[in-house]
């Protein structure tokens, strides 16, 4: 079986999709069929990202970095299965035009939301699904201030085209069942992302008074809501420290709006390489994900569950599905309720330890990488049989 995985962006550019594609490609390349006569998998990853990483030559699969239309067409002609990491238009049209078996793994809301985030910019709140409800004027209102009216209409039309094309591929893969209820596509299969069972690299001595945020510093991730909750805890006299891991467009504004007394408790660490990330999280018992939108799985949640951390998450469907009963949940955008969940942890030190242990067990069972690989192979075989 010749498998081509297309990812618009790839490492060394950091990102959740890039990490997932790398893990999938490695797993498929290392997969050994149980039966001697079973077909092996020949994996090729194609990306438009030109920057190279040191281990390019040591990867167990073929990696092609190209922006050439002709080269992409030739590679697709050779493939039996084309796996798209998201509904990228050019490879999607090419794959269907070449009558190849195309599988899309959805990492965003591009099929049901023009900006792909399911986040309503004018009110800075989760989008209730205006595109799918046919409220297209709301989609224009959401995007026009950021990108202008002509481009807003272009994005709207493009979403219709993407949706039409996605309903004509062999199979659509979604990482959470909840995402399937949002996208509402034909031939959907749910496969949870798999994560490395080797975590955590360092167990450390986590303190119940240490909280962490890990992610991009943008409005949709709810970092502003998190800092409001932290201010409420400080006003109530609680002692704690907060590490903010990541960078983004809001970083300068967030630092500027914080009172001096809060700056003494909050540490902005920026983007951290893997070894520094493990070191920073080793002292932290609880990780908070206050997202307002944009979550289709929550890779940060699953990885920190595997580290044995307690997760406090907003009640976005994807995050609830990932943490299950092993985390604490609060209404999206509600700083008072987020503060209440953090207060629970501070007042009951054993809570982070007990739920963190349960979270690790759940992560090892629900997000096993070998199971993810096997399920992808089953989907490829199903697609070939159509």
What is the model's pLDDT at position 202?
46
Q: pTM above 0.85?
A: yes
- Contact assessment for residue 127 and residue 293, using Cβ atoms and an 8 Å cutoff: yes
Q: Does domain 2-194+369-385 have CATH number 3.40.50.2000?
A: yes
What is the model's pLDDT at position 37?
56
Token representation of residue 115: 């900006």
Indicate the burial class of 166 (C-beta count within 10 angstroms; 0-12, 13-18, 19 or more): buried
Residue 310 CA to residue 208 CA, distance in Å, equals 10
Q: What is the pLDDT of residues 194-213, one digit of tens each?
A: 987 655 544 556 778 899 99
Query: CATH class for domain 207-366?
Result: alpha beta
Residue 315 CA to residue 102 CA, distance in Å, equals 33
Residue 321 CA to residue 297 CA, distance in Å, equals 8
3-class DSSP state for residue 55?
helix
Residues 6+ apart with CB under 8 A from 347: none
What is the model's pLDDT at position 92?
97
Token representation of residue 38: 């079973």
Residues 6+ apart with CB under 8 A from 135: none
Low-confidence ranges of the chain (pLDDT < 50): 201-202
Planar angle of CA 345, 279, 217, nearest 5 degrees: 70
What is the model's pLDDT at position 250?
84
User: In the chain, what are the domain boundaries?
Assistant: 2-194+369-385, 207-366
Q: Please indicate whether the domains covering 2-194+369-385 and 207-366 agree at the CATH topology level.
A: yes
What is the model's pLDDT at position 60?
95
Residue 247 CA to residue 269 CA, distance in Å, equals 8
Element at 75 (helix H, strand E): helix 69-78
């Amino acid at each position: 079986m010749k498998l081509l995985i297309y990812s618009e962006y790839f490492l060394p550019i950091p990102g959740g999709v890039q990490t997932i594609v790398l893990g999938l490609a490695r797993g498929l390349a290392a997969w050994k069929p149980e039966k001697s006569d079973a077909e092996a998998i020949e994996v090729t990853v194609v990306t438009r990202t030109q920057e190279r990483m040191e281990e390019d030559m040591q990867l167990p699969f073929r990696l092609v970095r190209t922006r050439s239309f002709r080269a992409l067409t030739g590679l697709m002609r050779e493939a039996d299965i084309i796996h798209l990491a998201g509904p990228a238009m050019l490879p999607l049209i090419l794959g269907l035009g070449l009558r190849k078996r195309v599988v899309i793994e959805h990492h965003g809301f591009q099929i049901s939301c023009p900006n792909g985030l399911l986040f309503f910019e004018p009110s800075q709140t989760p989008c209730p699904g205006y595109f799918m409800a046919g409220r297209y004027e709301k989609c224009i209102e959401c995007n026009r201030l950021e990108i202008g009216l002509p481009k807003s209409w272009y994005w709207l039309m493009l979403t219709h085209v993407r949706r039409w094309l996605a309903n004509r591929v062999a199979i659509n893969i979604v990482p959470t069942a909840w995402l399937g209820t949002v996208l509402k596509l034909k031939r959907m299969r749910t496969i949870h992302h798999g994560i490395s069972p080797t975590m955590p690299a360092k167990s450390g001595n986590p303190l119940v008074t240490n909280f962490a945020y890990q992610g991009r510093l943008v409005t949709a991730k709810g970092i502003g809501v998190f800092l409001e909750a932290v201010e409420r805890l400080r006003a109530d006299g609680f002692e704690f420290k907060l590490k903010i891991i990541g960078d983004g467009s809001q970083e300068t504004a967030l630092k500027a709006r914080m009172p001096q007394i809060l700056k003494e408790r909050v540490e902005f660490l920026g983007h951290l390489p893997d070894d520094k990330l493990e070191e920073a999280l080793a002292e932290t018992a609880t990780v908070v994900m206050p997202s307002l939108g944009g979550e289709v799985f929550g890779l940060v949640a699953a990885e920190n569950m595997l580290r044995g951390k307690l997760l406090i998450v907003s009640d976005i469907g994807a995050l609830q599905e990932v943490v299950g009963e092993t985390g604490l949940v609060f209404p999206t955008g509600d700083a008072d309720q987020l503060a209440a969940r953090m207060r629970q942890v501070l007042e009951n030190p054993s809570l982070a330890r007990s739920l963190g242990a349960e979270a690790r067990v759940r992560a090892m069972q629900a997000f096993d990488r070998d199971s993810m690989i096997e399920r992808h192979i089953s989907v490829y075989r199903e697609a070939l049989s159509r």
